[in-house]
């Protein structure tokens, strides 16, 4: 049985976005072979549903996907994904058996992780290919770019670990005014030179997330790693000429309409009191579905192709909207995210309304929200 609130996920749009990104980096490459595209599907494909999205990307030509941890990667394999899978996260706290049993590519970002993966590979009598992460200024995971001569020799000498690529991650790619990205780019170039001086042969390099890819072709290297842009959302405040389309449309229904007299309030905390008689509609979607409580009194939804403000508190399972000027009836569609008629509420608008980022809005779409895929997926 389908709940009144659910998400339409357009897999054709995601595939088209992947192809548009691939064409963009191919057409704008400064020279040589264009970079490949590592499609990022971590956090349940940014709320869109990792299995169906990963299969759609694979069918669109993606040869490598990336996710946060081994558990996410195993779920992709279980869903039938055969493409290469890069695991971003820390290795030392995971069940390393999954790397070998499911043909995954680990990130080695600490000496502890290197020793753990080496020991597991030795126990199994096999080699495993890995990507080396360099910390150029994010100061999370990664070998410090200025200490490689001291920290890498043990890893590079590991007989069961085969270096396949090296990468870094930018901390401020979405902020064109911040100088850190340029410092990180220079630090990564220096780290690559250090590796060459240490006798490491040339290997694949990658650094650019969606924002960095849009900002600076110098950081495309051999592969780019789009995440948010794959789902049709340019990272704010950036704009893009890459023709991408949002892939999620979050919808619900009007379940009740009632009058509110002057001076009466609605919802928990009586946070909204009508100054004049109003017509209020109840919509069965709340913070348990991923709607932020800060939308109360700030956000809008679409009904009949028109905007209706959210009034009163966002509760666990319901919101109330003011439809005094919007003709509607119980059963009518309500769009929380997406287009209806000539109006649209996109994820960037919703994020700006509540003072957060689009990544959080998408990833918070709740687990009880059923995803309906177009075209329909066979499970």
pLDDT in tens, 143-189: 999 999 999 999 999 999 999 999 999 999 999 999 999 999 999 99
What are the CA-CA distances from residue 209 to residues 169, 195, 203 (Å)? 8, 23, 19
pLDDT band (50, 70, 90) for residue 5:
very high
Task: Give the 3-state DSSP-derived string for 299-356, with helices as H, strands as E and coil as C.
Answer: CEEEECCEEEEEECCCCCCCEEEECCCCCCCCCCEEEEEEEECCEEECHHHHHHHHCC
pLDDT over threshold 70, residue 365: yes
Calculate the alpha carbon distances from 87 to 84, 91, 165, 231, 295 in Å: 10, 9, 13, 20, 34
Supply 183's token pair: 């410092």
**The pLDDT of residue 379:** 30
In this structure, the strands spanning 84-87 and 105-108 are: parallel
Cα–chain-centroid distance for residue 366?
15
Task: Give the residue among 98, 60, 52 at the shortest CA–CA distance from 376.
Answer: 52
pLDDT of 73 strictly over 90 = yes
The residue whose two tokens read 């990307």 is: 57
Of 140, 125, 130, 159, the closest CA to residue 70 belongs to 130
**pLDDT per residue as tens digits for the range 311-350:** 999 999 999 999 999 999 999 999 999 999 999 999 999 9
pLDDT score at 378: 37
Q: Is 268 a catalytic residue?
A: yes
Average of per-residue pLDDT across 36-47:
97
d(CA 310, CA 302): 10
DSSP annotation of 269 reads: G
What pLDDT does 1 receive? Answer: 61
Distances (CA, A) of 327 to 285, 302, 330, 333: 20, 12, 11, 12
C-alpha to C-alpha distances, 292 to 39, 150, 236, 267, 314, nearest whole angstrom: 28, 46, 19, 15, 7
CA distance 216 to 214: 6
* Structural contact between residues 229 and 240, judged by C-beta atoms closer than 8 angstroms: yes
Residue of 18, 42, 130, 373 marked active site: 42
Looking at residue 1, what DSSP letter applies?
-
Instruction: Band the pLDDT of 377: cuts 50, 70, 90.
Output: low
Does 288 have pLDDT greater than 90? yes
The predicted model gives 217-233 an average pLDDT of: 97
The pairing of strands 248-253 and 6-10 is: antiparallel
Asked whether the beta carbons of 285 and 332 are under 8 A apart, the reply is no
| Closest CA relative to residue 218, chosen from 230, 229, 206 | 206
Secondary structure of residue 87 in the 3-state scheme: strand
The mean predicted confidence, pLDDT, of the chain is: 95
Q: What number is the average pLDDT over the span 242-254?
A: 96
The active-site residue, picked from 133, 167, 258, 268, is: 268
Beta strands in 118-221 (DSSP E): 128-135, 143-144, 161-167, 204-208
pLDDT band at 27 (very low <50, low <70, confident <90, very high): confident
Mean pLDDT of 257-274: 95
| Confidence category of residue 95, pLDDT binned at 50, 70, 90 | confident
Average pLDDT over residues 207-212: 98
In the annotation, is 42 catalytic? yes
Q: Phi, psi (5° rounding) for residue 224?
A: -115, 160
């Amino acid at each position: 049985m389908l709940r009144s609130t659910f998400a339409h996920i357009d897999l054709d749009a995601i595939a088209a976005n992947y192809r548009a990104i691939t064409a963009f980096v191919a057409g704008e490459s400064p020279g040589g072979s264009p970079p490949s595209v590592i499609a990022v599907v971590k956090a349940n494909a940014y709320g869109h549903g990792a299995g169906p999205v990963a299969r759609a990307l694979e069918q669109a030509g993606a040869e490598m996907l990336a996710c946060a941890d081994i558990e996410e990667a195993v779920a992709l394999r279980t869903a039938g994904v055969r493409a290469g899978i890069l695991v971003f996260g820390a290795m030392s706290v995971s069940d390393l058996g999954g790397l070998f049993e499911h043909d995954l590519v680990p990130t080695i970002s600490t000496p502890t992780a290197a020793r753990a993966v080496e020991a597991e590979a030795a126990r199994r009598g096999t080699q495993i290919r890995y990507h080396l992460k360099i910390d150029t200024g994010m100061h999370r995971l990664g070998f410090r770019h200025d200490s490689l001569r001291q920290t890498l020799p043990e890893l590079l000498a590991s007989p069961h670990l085969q270096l396949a690529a090296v990468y870094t991650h930018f901390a401020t790619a979405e902020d064109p005014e911040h100088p850190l990205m340029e410092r990180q780019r220079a630090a990564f170039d220096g780290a690559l030179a250090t590796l060459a001086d240490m006798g490491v042969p040339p290997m694949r390099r990658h650094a650019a997330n969606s924002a960095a890819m849009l900002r600076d072709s110098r950081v495309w290297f051999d592969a780019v790693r789009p995440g948010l842009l794959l789902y049709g959302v340019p990272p704010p405040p950036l704009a893009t000429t890459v023709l991408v389309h949002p892939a999620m449309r979050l919808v619900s229904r009007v379940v009740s309409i009632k009058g509110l007299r002057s001076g009466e309030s609605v919802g928990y905390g009586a946070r909204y009191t009508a100054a004049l008689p109003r017509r209020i509609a109840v919509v069965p979607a709340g913070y348990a579905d991923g709607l932020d409580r800060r939308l109360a009194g700030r956000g809008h939804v679409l009904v009949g192709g028109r905007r209706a403000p959210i009034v009163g508190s966002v509760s666990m399972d319901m919101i109330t909207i003011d439809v005094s000027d919007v003709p509607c009836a119980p059963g009518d569609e309500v769009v929380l995210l997406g287009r209806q008629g000539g109006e649209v509420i996109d994820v960037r608008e919703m994020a700006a309304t509540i003072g957060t980022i689009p990544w959080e809005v998408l990833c918070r779409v709740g687990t009880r929200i059923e995803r309906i895929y177009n075209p329909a997926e066979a499970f």
